[in-house]
A and B are shown apart, each in its own frame.
Chain A
Amino acid sequence: MFSTILSGGIYGMHSYLVQVEVDMSQGLPCFAMVGSLGAEVKESGERVRIALKNKGIHIPPMHIAVNLSPADMRKEGTGYDLPIAVALLVSMGIVRESDAKNTLFLGELGLNGEVKAVKGVLPIVRKAQEAGIRRCIVPFGNGREAGCVQGIEVIPVKSVEQVMQYLRGEEKITPVSVDLEDLLNAGMWEDEPDYADVSGQETPKRAALLAAAGFHNLLLAGPPGSGKTMIAKRLPGILPPLSSKESLEVSALYSIAGLLDGKRSVIARRPFLHPHHTISPQALTGGGRIPKPGVISLSHRGVLFLDELPEFNRQTLDALRQPLEDKTVQIARSYGNFTYPADFMLVAAMNPCPCGYYPDRNKCRCTPFERHQYLSHISGPILDRIDLYAQAPKVKIAQLQSKKKEISSAQMRSQVMAARQRQEWRYRGSRLRFNGELKVGEVEKYCILGQKEQKMLVHMFETMDLSARAYHRLIKTARTIADVEECENIKEEHLAEAACFFGSRKGVFTDA
């Protein structure tokens, strides 16, 4: 008898629905599986047969054919075990076809019949919801993840036996539904480290605030032990929260990468990734025959923190160029072209010279040539995409001991949120979310300067030897400063402050 069951698959970032078709007919007993299957999908037949046997269901010795349609899409992953098992049950008449209709099945089977969690559940369930499917049956471990999708009934199951009983109406299972908004607002910042722990360092802290408010890329420089890493690691604590749409977007990526589990069923906070500097270009952008999301995609809508920037392989850094420009990464492999989103805030930390103490001439004896060599590890196009440069000066012991109250993350967060609201209002109805995303034309549209300010800008460019490339970057930063200061128009002091964070004349650190 022939039966068909719905399931879904992932191809890169693209999710699609799969028809699992099973036919049982008289003939030489065999179990054939077709439909462009990966190795783990081919093994599925064996798992299903034994899992059913161990639950007391013997598959009759018949000619059994399983087809996963569309047959030309490459199928990978272990999520097809459960739909194949259910299709067999329908074919054998154990479950009625009508009971399994309009339902999507996903899950891996253990030999004892247990249903195990799989990757990519969230995007598949979303796809099913969009296709108007009424119900989906997912592994218990993926229940909360799938439950974030509204408008579809999500049934978490623990074993194939339970599925059978549920479909036959012998057992009731409460559908899971997760309120994403609640999750996004619940006790977000409790365990985040606080900026109040950083003594002094007002300039780099201000730069971090501006980066968070306008989603600008940030470069922190300074001698060893000045707190660059501390400042960067406190960024997640002041970033504006994810919107539910963004959260689903990021969660889908993590789901595909197999990084969601029972503990972390959905990504509710902006990701913060800090790969070690030995990372390969493939690990950064995403690699594999069918590439999995790389580190830059996993930092989507969050922060990618590169500590000791010049230590990174130049090739690795250059791999960032296209994603920084396009906010997506395109990877071409033999199986086709894959595009993953990669809209992240780049935060980098580095020493200003090989010994780390420039411009303190008492300690630093690096020659201009050595400094130049050190900085040339980082290519210009990367530096061009960085809006904010800040140096963390050496910390004095007196600062560590002083009882002066440092600005806390909570204070900074409220400033960020105020700036965020201004941006939301300004960019309503457009694709834009943050000032950092403005392109040249958009800068001219949204950041209008008064006459006084324009004059100052001209004067600044003439006297301080700024390059023309700098022009729009400077205005973008000034826009964020104005937003943080809750000013409608960009004023002279905002431009001046932006110039302070501009990274000096020739890019990063000029020659004294």
Chain B
Amino acid sequence: MHKEEKEYLYWLHNVPGVGDGKMRRLIDFLGSAQAVYFATDKQLMSVLSRAETDKMRAFGKEWKVKEAYEKMTALGMKLVCEKETEYPSRLRAVNGAPYLLYYKGQLPEEKTVAVAIIGARECSEYGRYVAKAFASRLAEEGVNVISGMARGIDGIGQEAALTAGGKTFAVLGCGADICYPAANRKLYEEIVKNGGILSPYPPGTSPQKTLFPYRNKIVAGLSDAVLVVEARQKSGTWITVDMALEQGKDVYAVPGRVTDRLSDGCNLLIKQGAGMAISPDDLLKELSVLTARTVLLHQDKEEKGVLRFLDLYPLSIDEILERAQSEDENITLSGLMFELIQLCMQGKAKEVSSNYFVKTG
């Protein structure tokens, strides 16, 4: 596709009131975005209403087609249209996929397995650990990790994938030039280097609640399987899961304790028939990435000392003491504190909040 046509596509996408549907119809009718730009009112009005035509005309005067496009590319942003071969083929198969996709960095690799790792924004230490474990193992095996770069599971998974040397792709519910949430700035920049930031919305679109469901649809669309790490019974994660099922993708969920509200969603998914992801290698096996290799199931090493009383969710010193004293009555509070700090210094445990400790992976 010519650069010129892309400039006009960019213009057309920015016209207020023109969505994917109208855009498709206009281009089908007139042949190209450039043709739409130069079309007569009469031609336009066979697709648009009078008011919409006027709006488009008014907007056309303001918009500097060439400069605007160059301004966008100067930000490192690229644009891909459904009609181009570069357009992700997985997405092409999705009903209602975006006509245009903006991205920074690269597009997901066509021949690599892509897994979406999604979950709650306010995750627990358990979710954090699991997301990290799965993402880094999958990334090590070359799987592309797709997610929404949100706070919590999304971001943690993507960060772990990058740390493991893999590629990860984030689909945003705002312009791909905007880092949302702002706290993930570092992650955003890393993803641009080793993967890509994608968005169906023009640059400069600010994050809005209403834009996120569609974003979730694209996350599901870009992946071969969806892994839910932690989700409440009512959560945005369900949108992604529903979309994935609609698109015929596999859904896996990480089981949690039945008393954990943050695992309710996952457990419910498993009950409804989702795949149970009990270890990264198990999941890889399911994805048949690892079929040829021996599966080394991650087994817990025999843990010694106080570490065995710790868990993946925060425990207060009192709770740890209670656990420890049920095994060995001679353990004192001071002695336990000494051991805990030792573990923290060795990086085996972490104080997540005053007097609350978790073990780290």
Name A residues whose Cβ lies closer than 8 Å to a Cβ of B.
200-203, 206, 221, 352, 358-368, 389-391, 393, 459-460, 463-464, 481, 485, 492-493, 495-497, 499-501, 503-505, 508-510, 512
Contacts and interface: CB of A to CB of B under 8 A. Distances in A.
Interface string B331-361: 0011101101110111100011111101000
B353 A509 contact: yes
B123 interface: yes
B358 to A, nearest CB: 8
Contacts of A203: 316-318, 321, 333, 355
Contacts of A493: 334-335, 337-338
Nearest to B183: A368
Interface stretch (B60-68, B220-228, B255-263): B255-263
B249 interface: no
A352 B319 contact: no
Which size bracket describes the interface of B in this complex? 35 or more
A200 B354 contact: no
Contacts of B121: 367
B321 A202 contact: yes
Contacts of B317: 202-203, 500
B341 A496 contact: yes
Contacts of A206: 333-334
Nearest to A370: B122
Interface string B117-134: 000011111001000000
Contact of B353 (A200, A459, A512): A512
Given A361-B122, A361-B262, A496 B338 contact: yes
Contacts of A361: 122-124, 260-262, 313
A201 B318 contact: yes
A390 B318 contact: no
A460 B337 CA distance: 13
B151 interface: yes
A492 B354 contact: no
B261 A391 contact: no
Best-surrounded residue of B125, B260, B262, B344 (most CB of chain A within 10 A): B344
B175 interface: no
Nearest to A390: B355
Contacts of B316: 203, 391, 393
A500 B342 CA distance: 11
A363 to B, nearest CB: 8
A352 B123 CA distance: 17
B337 A509 contact: no
Given A493-B334, A496-B337, 7 more contacts: A203-B318, A361-B261, A361-B313, A499-B341, A500-B340, A500-B355, A503-B354
B354 A390 contact: yes
B341 A500 contact: yes
Contacts of A360: 314
B334 A509 contact: no
Given A358-B353, A459-B345, A512-B128, A492 B314 contact: no
A512 B351 contact: no
Nearest to B259: A362
A393 B317 CA distance: 9
Contacts of B262: 361-362
Contacts, number: 112
Closest 6 CB pairs of A and B: A393-B316, A496-B341, A361-B124, A391-B355, A493-B338, A496-B338
Given A391-B356, A497-B334, A202 B261 contact: no
A503 B352 CA distance: 10
Contact of B351 (A202, A358, A390, A504): A504
Given A200-B318, A391-B356, A485 B334 contact: yes
Contacts of B345: 459-460, 463-464
Interface in B10-26: none
A485 B313 CA distance: 32
Given A362-B261, A497-B337, A500-B341, A202 B318 contact: yes
Nearest to B261: A362
Interface in B284-322: 313-314, 316-319, 321-322
Contacts of A362: 259-262
B223 to A, nearest CB: 26
A367 B354 contact: no
A438 B265 CA distance: 53
A492 B338 contact: yes
A512 B317 CA distance: 16
Contacts of A500: 317, 337, 340-341, 351, 355
B45 to A, nearest CB: 48
B332 to A, nearest CB: 10
Given A221-B354, A358-B353, A359-B352, A512 B318 contact: no
6 contacts: A391-B353, A463-B347, A492-B338, A493-B338, A504-B354, A508-B354
B256 to A, nearest CB: 11
Contacts of A508: 354
A203 B340 CA distance: 13
Contacts of B358: 512
A83 B56 CA distance: 97
B250 to A, nearest CB: 27
Given A359-B356, A367-B122, A497-B334, A393 B318 contact: yes
Nearest to A484: B334
Given A201-B318, A500-B317, A510 B261 contact: no
A391 B259 CA distance: 23
A366 B347 CA distance: 27
Contacts of A496: 337-338, 340-342
A368 B355 CA distance: 18
A206 B317 CA distance: 11
B229 to A, nearest CB: 13
B52 to A, nearest CB: 40
